[in-house]
Structure 1
Amino acid sequence: MASPTHQLWLLMFALGAVELICGYSFHNCIADPNSNWKSFSCKSRKDRLMSLIVNDLPRSVVNLTITFNPLMHVPNNSFVHLPNLQNLRLDHNQLRHVDSSAFRNLHQLQSLNMSLNEISELNASLFEDLQNLTFLSLANNKLNKFPEGIFFGVHNANTLLFRNNCLTNFSEVVKSISHLMKLEVLDLCSNKLTSLSHSNVSLPQSLSVLYLCRNNLHTLGCSSSFLSFIKLLDLSNNIKLRTVNFREVNLSHVKSLHLNSTSVNIVDFLKISNINAGCVDFSGTGLNNSNSINELCRLLKTKLKSIKNVQLRHNGIWNLHNFNFSYCPKITGALDLSFNKLKSVKCPSFIYNQLGITKFTAEHNLLMSLPSCKKQKDFQFKSMEEISYRFNRILTVNAHAFGQTPNIRVLKLNINNVAFLHRQALKGLKKLKILRLDNNLLTDLFKETFETNVQLQILNLRNNRISVIFKETFFNLKYLNTLDLGCNKITHFQPSGLDGLKSLSKLYLDGNNLKQIDSSFYHIFQDTLTVLDLASNQIRFLREENISPFVNLSKLIDLKLNSQRDHGLAVLPRTLFRGLHSLKSLYLTNNNIVYLPPEAFDDLTNLTFLTLENCCVGVAQLEPGVFKNLRNLTRLILENMGIQNLSKEVFGNLTQLRILQINRNVMQSIPVNALQSLPRLQYLDIRNIPLSCTCKNKFLQNYTVNNPDVQVVYLYKLPCQPDKSLKFYNFDTKVCYIDLGKYMCFINVAAVFLFTVIPLLYVKLYWKIKYSYYVFRSWFSEHWSRIRDKEENCKYDAFISYNFSDEEWVLNELLPNLEGNGSSLKLCLHHRDFELGRNIVDNIVTAVYSSRKTICVVSRNFLQSEWCSLEIQLASYRLFDEHRDVLLLVFLEPISERQLSSYHRMRKVMLKKTYLQWPDSDCSDPLQAQELFWNQLRRAIKAGSRLETEQDDNDKDFAPESKATEHCDNLLTNESYY
């Protein structure tokens, strides 16, 4: 049963796997787009937890590099979800602790590199699951010992590198690796070992390479057979190691022994050791004078008939004049005198009769010149094939400097100060194939310089001071396939300056001062040239060119025009790349192209790689169709071009594109259809783009997060703009997912409906709407509930609603008859009882609901008053909706049926309730009629407010007037109360 910790890790990995089902972007790693999701690099990240770096990686990972991170700890089960891992790099971090089960489940791991960390201790069970591990590096750490049995499960280990640690006990090291029967290389250099003493265990017999350099060995202290199977033994830089320490030590199988910077006397060592003398590296053994070298040679000659290689590096040799290598056995291979203090060589005569030497090396010395060595029959070193004088101070190379070595094939004079190369310095070297003259001070080359080097294939003249290529300089180099003239000061080629180069395949002219591309330079290369480097020159086009300078280079596959100095390629002619049908790689970075014509790449039908990084800053938008013919393009770099917009038309025909880098541009959004037009896209870099986290990028977010085929570089680290604390991959897009078409349709239909219906409603329902507004307004004013609660204990017996033109009748007739003469009735009049400073609507509502009845004094002026209409509306609301008998109508004057026809609310009240008519002055007995009027009105006011049936109403002894059939509505005037 799995432990709780293990279960937790499995759950976390499962959650990570669920996330990867949706997309292939990773928090801290980048998948190599050419590896089919098998190789990942996690470099220079800021996260300090291993889980944050690796937990979202897929199971398919085979090669994983985690370097230059602030990681200090590798927890248990860190890679348990990566069972297919074969190569793991954890070097150049800050690791201090590696838990015992950190590499659990990595049964397929073959290579593990944890060098350049701060690990001081390892757990004994750390490697127990690494049965297939063949390479392990723990170099440059702080280890002082290995736990017992730490390599017990690593049966297939082939190479173990423990260089530059603090190991002190060699016996413990041997014990820990003794069972590794496939181990071949063990590196223990730069530790603190003092001896090779060991217990009864021995080194694996398979071990053939043992590095013990830079330790504190003062004795070997091992059994005689302990090193019997070693083939390469490096004991250099153990200053205390002496000759006597090798007595009776079996070195018979050693093929290469390094003893430089020790206290071993090499001659005495050869006398007491059973090693094959020809396998000893004599570098750094104090052989700094002719006597010691002659003595060594005599001894070697007694032991050997011939010796393949003689290495005399780091011996402080400064003079070869008195050396006589004739005392040495025949040298059939290389003689190496590098890292000495030689100031001159005076031809190879110092090696006298050693005519079998094939390679002579004198690098890192103090040579000032190479003298003339005229051809001499007695000193023809015909076996010599390679000479190297690199890293010296050679200023001049005189005529016939190599006259005694006519058959050399490789000559290295690079990284010197050669300012004068005699026209005949290389004369006679008819078999020379590789010539290195780079990193010198050459200013001129002539036809005679390479006249006899007819077999030359590679000529490197980079980093000199050549300004002009004279005519026919390379005329005889018909087999030359690589010519490197980069980083010189070439301004032009004289006519026929490149003639004769019939086989030239690679031409490097970068870093010169060429100002134009002359098509005549390249007409001879039409069937051969495949690589042309013109970067970092001064080439400019100020106008359109009719003829392409590359039109004849039908075989060219690699062209570099990047980083033109001063102002770059100001104009990119439409025909510049005409005819380059075979071109596969094009570099235009770091230029200042002001306009990228859509026809520029039309002929590049086989192009697979194109970089325009920083080439067109200021180009706001790529023209549609600019890449229309690049159907074979697999990688496109558009970094830092100042692009503001992209469109589907730009990428429409890039059907094979797999890698797209558009980082460091200024667009705030990327249309998803542009990316969806790239069916094979696998790698997308949109870092350092100010993408806005708004609805216009909702589809881009969905594309980057959920696309199962496209890796978006560091997607989960991409910030929102301008708030960088938010992340692009998870900004809220819920409000964005609306069917705009559907809602726009609804909005349009609603708008048409409203514009059609509103005028009708305005005409028909104006007062009803306005009334509703006042009612709801009062509803929320908190007076509503207060008034209704006090309805049964009303403050007034009646609220008098009248028009100001009828005010005289109200004051002179109504008020004295209802409140005077000992009456107990109390009336509410607006001019007397309304609260000053209060909203008039609130006063009306309060008056209606604070009175048992509302008496409407109806006249023609009343019918025209907006406020009177509101008051009767409120009272009729109580009448019809609350079933309260609260409304009394008093007509001051006769009003015809026609005049009442438009007042529907009043008409409805008059149909349900009887009303009072103020007696006409023309009646027979007006005083009696008025007395009856006031009695009936007082009775009506005092009557209960509960609504009776229609029959009860008919039984009341009100005036037998006809019922009104109209009521107030749609009044257009807005009369004032006052």
Structure 2
Amino acid sequence: MGPCRGALHPLSLLVQAAALALALAQGTLPAFLPCELQPHGLVNCNWLFLKSVPRFSAAAPRGNVTSLSLYSNRIHHLHDYDFVHFVHLRRLNLKWNCPPASLSPMHFPCHMTIEPNTFLAVPTLEDLNLSYNSITTVPALPSSLVSLSLSRTNILVLDPATLAGLYALRFLFLDGNCYYKNPCQQALQVAPGALLGLGNLTHLSLKYNNLTVVPRGLPPSLEYLLLSYNHIITLAPEDLANLTALRVLDVGGNCRRCDHARNPCRECPKGFPQLHPNTFGHLSHLEGLVLRDSSLYSLDPRWFHGLGNLMVLDLSENFLYDCITKTKAFYGLARLRRLNLSFNYHKKVSFAHLHLASSFGSLLSLQELDIHGIFFRSLSETTLQSLAHLPMLQRLHLQLNFISQAQLSIFGAFPGLRYVDLSDNRISGAAEPAAATGEVEADCGERVWPQSRDLALGPLGTPGSEAFMPSCRTLNFTLDLSRNNLVTVQPEMFVRLARLQCLGLSHNSISQAVNGSQFVPLSNLRVLDLSHNKLDLYHGRSFTELPRLEALDLSYNSQPFSMRGVGHNLSFVAQLPALRYLSLAHNGIHSRVSQQLRSASLRALDFSGNTLSQMWAEGDLYLRFFQGLRSLVQLDLSQNRLHTLLPRNLDNLPKSLRLLRLRDNYLAFFNWSSLALLPKLEALDLAGNQLKALSNGSLPNGTQLQRLDLSGNSIGFVVPSFFALAVRLRELNLSANALKTVEPSWFGSLAGALKVLDVTANPLHCACGATFVDFLLEVQAAVPGLPSRVKCGSPGQLQGRSIFAQDLRLCLDEALSWVCFSLSLLAVALSLAVPMLHQLCGWDLWYCFHLCLAWLPRRGRRRGVDALAYDAFVVFDKAQSSVADWVYNELRVQLEERRGRRALRLCLEERDWVPGKTLFENLWASVYSSRKTLFVLARTDRVSGLLRASFLLAQQRLLEDRKDVVVLVILCPDAHRSRYVRLRQRLCRQSVLLWPHQPSGQRSFWAQLGTALTRDNRHFYNQNFCRGPTTA
């Protein structure tokens, strides 16, 4: 290696390329390194810390790419040629590449540069996401664009020219360009009519932009308009004029309720917001209206006149605690399906009772009502009396109301009700029927300090049992009483709730001994969640009053099982004829339980988080603990502190098992041949154990195993043919182990049949002779994250880098080392000889070099000049008909048609300018694409308009390129000449030509003009006065 250190860099690159081609000859590199090609034409380049758009090889099928995601990289400059090869690209995601300083995690300043033709080079682009990038103007965009996201950028001005030509645009998102996280000290400025040209725009989002008024001149095609969390505190009919097609309008958060704000908040001025009674009256197609967080104290029924199609109304986080008891605003909303009134509480007050207004009864189409966070302590029949006759009501949210007394039987009167959420309250037991009060009663003695919480309903069960426990979403009636103060469960609580199919009682303090009488009224209950309680499972008839119970979650009830000397009876499982799912997870079960579980119906058992190692250590006492579960298909024994798993333990598991989980135990050895004792096993999960090697035998022949997870172990060695006999194996996870290689001999003929082979997070040894690269390339379709997530662990120079970025100089053989040594010796000799020759005969060598250079042809020196499109750009005043006639009928004919092979190429405005470009773009292109700029003037004392602009550009070219390109033709020699013309005649006479009126002098004029247009003006300068512009 030492002699190679001084090798020339180009030679080193050549050696690397040759060695790479040789090493990877048996496989084809992933087409889009370092990115990953995913289904449906998506190239995923997310989170690769790229600083530029990858230059994919010409062999990559770039024409098949329809989506390119470059999310969360470090690309700060986009070039014109970055996406030109993606001829069918439709979706491009450039989000989070150069965020504004205030949004950057480290608050680093950044500015993204986008060249003019970056996106114009992709005429098929339909979806472009430039959010979270520090751009100040909208770049040039193709007319095919349908969706454009410019949120969280520094774009603060929208005018008609900004989005001109985007006639197909339907979705425009400009959220968060001016708010507390992305401050701008002003507001987004939307010029009147700036978006009017977007005739197909249906979705417009301008949230978080400090807007104080609704932008004027919005396109009438809008269906979704989102203006929330600005500062629009007044609304009138003219603000939404012509937007008759609106279906969803969000104006919430413009006049906020700051005592419930989770972020910086500006108090709503007193007397605001001001909503004109007819603000929404002309929006007959409106289906969704959001007025949340708007400091509303009352509802004007006139706001909703004409909104006969309204289906969703969000009035949450206002001050409507009194209004909802007497409002008449809902009488005309017969088609309303969802109504949100959450967090309309009185500051520091909780009510004793709540009685909803009678107008709720007119919402005949109402399906979902959210009234959580109102803060009332008693739920009785009178509370929801107005809702009793709503035939479509399905979901009712009452969580976080501090309800302590709840008459649950009232829900029996709602035949269509499918879901009731009473979680996060203070319910402690059955309530006596309450007398009708008719009014809201406040108890100011109880102070409440509300806090914003995530109140979304999660699936029943714990994360460990999610895969086993079924969801209640498909059941007819669900009641969630989780996170309350229940200590006991009484059958009186569930009177008239025989229709209930799913009951959630998790995260309470239920500590009673269930004996088969607690849930008697719930004869149709199918799912029961009692996790995170303190249940005493002592009676053998527990839950037997539930004949249709299919899923029972008893996880995280560890307190009774931790009490020394107390026995626990699990025989009730055998008496539940319909039970299919049971979770006993994380109970710390270790002793004094029933010796055997029995059930003919149970299909899934979660026994994770217990101490099965201690149970199996008690001789044969619990050896057959699971054997009586004759129909068991799924068994989870994760986190049971197992150090060994003997064949007799597996032999006494149900033979019907198809899935066995043994995650996160302490297994350092596994008898693979014992898998033959489970003839139907299809999936085995051994992740997170302490296996060091797969060396004791192999997977048995004839096993039905299809999925094997060995991730998170310490496997560093695998014997040949270990997986070969498992012919049905399709998914293998070997990630996060200690593998230094992946050998094809491990798999035999099975390798080609694998659908998933995960080898990420292994310390692969990327040295000379590594064969795993060839193998992984052969099965690359099955290897997730192969281009970017399969990385080297050694040698140290390559640690943490992709296996395809390995430094092949580490693999040079002896012959190549001699070549490197010879070349480095030659380089050293030259480095010594050249300075010596320069010192001894440097002047002679310099003279000979320049002498030879003078003999070389000069053709190459004019290459840049010959590459120009035109010989001259002709500028004249079109308003002067005589001048225009002379240009078209004399000048053009003489220079383009009568010079034969020496014809000149002229650029004329009427003929050669490109339609569609602006005047300045055509003018700039004409001046800079022509060798000379020819000004045809009748008079020289007054020059304006296009003549003046062209002259200034020619002078600018003189300053930038040091090229004098001005040639003047004066048609009236007797007219007064300006000082500039007279000075130019003195300095550069041959560039100022006078049109002779005598025919005898015109032939000489055309010859002089041809010379002036074909030769550099430097040759025409009078050397007595100046030497002309220089090029250096």
User: One-letter code of the match for 2:209?
Assistant: N
Whether 1:342 and 2:360 are equivalent positions in the alignment is no
Q: For residues 325 and 265 of structure 1, what CA distance do their matches in structure 2 show?
A: 15
Q: Which residue of 1 aligns with 2:389?
A: 356
User: One-letter code of the match for 1:418?
Assistant: L
Give CA-to-partner distance per residue, 1:229-263, whole Å, 9 cap, x none.
21221111111541238558522222332223336
Deviation at 1:629, TM superposition (A): 4.0
Residue 177 (structure 2) aligned to one of 162, 165, 170:
165
CA 1:50–1:197: 2 relative to 1, 3 Å:
closer
User: One-letter code of the match for 1:481?
Assistant: E
CA 1:642–1:308: 2 relative to 1, 3 Å:
closer
SS in 2 for 1:483: strand
Matches within 5 A, 1:507-656: 507-515=582-590, 522-524=597-599, 526-529=600-603, 531-540=604-613, 541-542=616-617, 549-551=625-627, 556-564=632-640, 567-576=641-650, 583-603=657-677, 609-617=683-691, 619-626=692-699, 628-631=701-704, 633=706, 635-656=707-728
Deviation at 1:431, TM superposition (A): 0.4
Deviation at 1:51, TM superposition (A): 1.7
Residue 193 (structure 1) aligned to one of 205, 211, 229:
211
Give CA-to-partner distance per residue, 1:411-463, whole Å, 9 cap, x none.
12123343333343223311001212223222334422222212122222233
Q: Which residue of 2 aligns with 1:955?
A: none
Matches within 5 A, 1:661-680: 661-677=733-749, 678-680=751-753
SS in 1 for 2:307: coil
Q: Which residue of 1 aligns with 2:527?
A: 458
Whether 1:321 and 2:337 are equivalent positions in the alignment is no
Q: For residues 308 and 715 of structure 1, what CA distance do their matches in structure 2 show?
A: 49
CA 1:265–1:434: 2 relative to 1, 3 Å:
same
Q: Which residue of 1 aligns with 2:797?
A: 724
Give CA-to-partner distance per residue, 1:392-416, whole Å, 9 cap, x none.
3314021688999xx9922121233
Is contact 2:96-2:133 (8 Å) kept? no
Deviation at 1:474, TM superposition (A): 2.1
Residue 45 (structure 1) aligned to one of 30, 48, 73:
48
Q: Which residue of 1 aligns with 2:28?
A: 22
Whether 1:699 and 2:715 are equivalent positions in the alignment is no
Q: Which moved more, 1:514-523 or 1:184-193?
A: 514-523
Q: For residues 122 and 624 of structure 2, what CA distance do their matches in structure 1 show?
A: 57
Q: For residues 656 and 85 of structure 1, what CA distance do their matches in structure 2 show?
A: 38
Whether 1:250 and 2:326 are equivalent positions in the alignment is no
User: One-letter code of the match for 2:669?
Assistant: Y
SS in 2 for 1:602: helix
SS in 2 for 1:319: strand
CA 1:387–1:561: 2 relative to 1, 3 Å:
same
Q: Which residue of 2 aligns with 1:388?
A: 420
Whether 1:430 and 2:498 are equivalent positions in the alignment is yes
Give CA-to-partner distance per residue, 1:359-381, whole Å, 9 cap, x none.
57454534242345778xxx973
Whether 1:283 and 2:345 are equivalent positions in the alignment is no
What's the RMSD between the two structures over aligned residues?
Answer: 4.5
CA 1:700–1:712: 2 relative to 1, 3 Å:
farther
Matches within 5 A, 1:862-901: none
SS in 2 for 1:704: helix
Deviation at 1:597, TM superposition (A): 0.6
Q: Which residue of 1 aligns with 2:510?
A: 442
Give CA-to-partner distance per residue, 1:917-967, whole Å, 9 cap, x none.
xxxxxxxxxxxxxxxxxxxxxxxxxxxxxxxxxxxxxxxxxxxxxxxxxxx
Matches within 5 A, 1:40-189: 41-51=44-54, 59=62, 60-61=64-65, 65-83=69-87, 88-95=92-99, 97=112, 99=114, 100-103=116-119, 111-115=127-131, 117-130=132-145, 133=146, 135-146=147-158, 148=160, 157-166=169-178, 168=187, 171-172=190-191, 175-176=194-195, 178-181=197-200, 183-189=201-207
Is contact 1:623-1:650 (8 Å) kept? no
Unmatched 5+ residue regions in structure 1? 1-11, 739-978
CA 1:364–1:698: 2 relative to 1, 3 Å:
same
Q: Which moved more, 1:545-554 or 1:465-474?
A: 545-554
Matches within 5 A, 1:220-231: 220=235, 222=238, 225-231=241-247
Q: For residues 583 and 108 of structure 1, what CA distance do their matches in structure 2 show?
A: 52
Q: For residues 487 and 622 of structure 1, what CA distance do their matches in structure 2 show?
A: 38
Q: Which residue of 2 aligns with 1:421?
A: 489
CA 1:715–1:51: 2 relative to 1, 3 Å:
closer
User: One-letter code of the match for 2:713?
Assistant: M
Q: Which residue of 1 aligns with 2:479?
A: 411
Q: For residues 484 and 731 of structure 2, what CA distance do their matches in structure 1 show?
A: 42
User: One-letter code of the match for 1:45?
Assistant: L
Q: For residues 101 and 666 of structure 1, what CA distance do their matches in structure 2 show?
A: 48
Q: For residues 327 and 261 of structure 1, what CA distance do their matches in structure 2 show?
A: 22
SS in 2 for 1:316: coil
Percent identity, aligned pairs only?
19
Deviation at 1:699, TM superposition (A): 2.4
Q: For residues 220 and 372 of structure 1, what CA distance do their matches in structure 2 show?
A: 42
Residue 405 (structure 2) aligned to one of 360, 370, 379:
370
Deviation at 1:539, TM superposition (A): 1.9
Q: For residues 65 and 500 of structure 1, what CA distance do their matches in structure 2 show?
A: 55
Is contact 1:103-1:129 (8 Å) kept? no
Deviation at 1:163, TM superposition (A): 2.7
CA 1:712–1:259: 2 relative to 1, 3 Å:
closer
CA 1:715–1:234: 2 relative to 1, 3 Å:
closer
Deviation at 1:733, TM superposition (A): 5.0
SS in 1 for 2:762: coil
Q: For residues 78 and 402 of structure 1, what CA distance do their matches in structure 2 show?
A: 71
Give CA-to-partner distance per residue, 1:559-589, whole Å, 9 cap, x none.
322223xx34533545526676665544322
CA 1:56–1:285: 2 relative to 1, 3 Å:
farther
Is contact 1:331-1:356 (8 Å) kept? no
Q: Which residue of 2 aligns with 1:792?
A: none
Deviation at 1:129, TM superposition (A): 5.0
Q: For residues 367 and 623 of structure 2, what CA distance do their matches in structure 1 show?
A: 54
Q: For residues 75 and 337 of structure 2, what CA distance do their matches in structure 1 show?
A: 49
Is contact 1:243-1:263 (8 Å) kept? no
User: One-letter code of the match for 2:725?
Assistant: N
Q: For residues 163 and 505 of structure 2, what CA distance do their matches in structure 1 show?
A: 50
Deviation at 1:652, TM superposition (A): 0.8
User: One-letter code of the match for 2:686?
Assistant: L
Deviation at 1:213, TM superposition (A): 1.0
SS in 1 for 2:289: strand
Q: For residues 631 and 113 of structure 2, what CA distance do their matches in structure 1 show?
A: 54
Unmatched 5+ residue regions in structure 2? 1-16, 100-110, 180-186, 256-271, 437-474, 562-566, 817-1032
Is contact 2:679-2:704 (8 Å) kept? yes
Deviation at 1:198, TM superposition (A): 1.7
Is contact 2:360-2:386 (8 Å) kept? no
Whether 1:505 and 2:505 are equivalent positions in the alignment is no
TM-score by length of structure 1 reads 0.62
CA 1:236–1:543: 2 relative to 1, 3 Å:
same
Deviation at 1:591, TM superposition (A): 1.0
SS in 2 for 1:270: helix
User: One-letter code of the match for 1:369?
Assistant: S
Is contact 1:247-1:273 (8 Å) kept? no
SS in 1 for 2:771: helix
Deviation at 1:220, TM superposition (A): 4.1
SS in 1 for 2:382: helix
User: One-letter code of the match for 1:559?
Assistant: L
Is contact 1:589-1:613 (8 Å) kept? yes
Q: For residues 606 and 39 of structure 1, what CA distance do their matches in structure 2 show?
A: 38
Q: For residues 400 and 213 of structure 2, what CA distance do their matches in structure 1 show?
A: 35
User: One-letter code of the match for 1:296?
Assistant: T
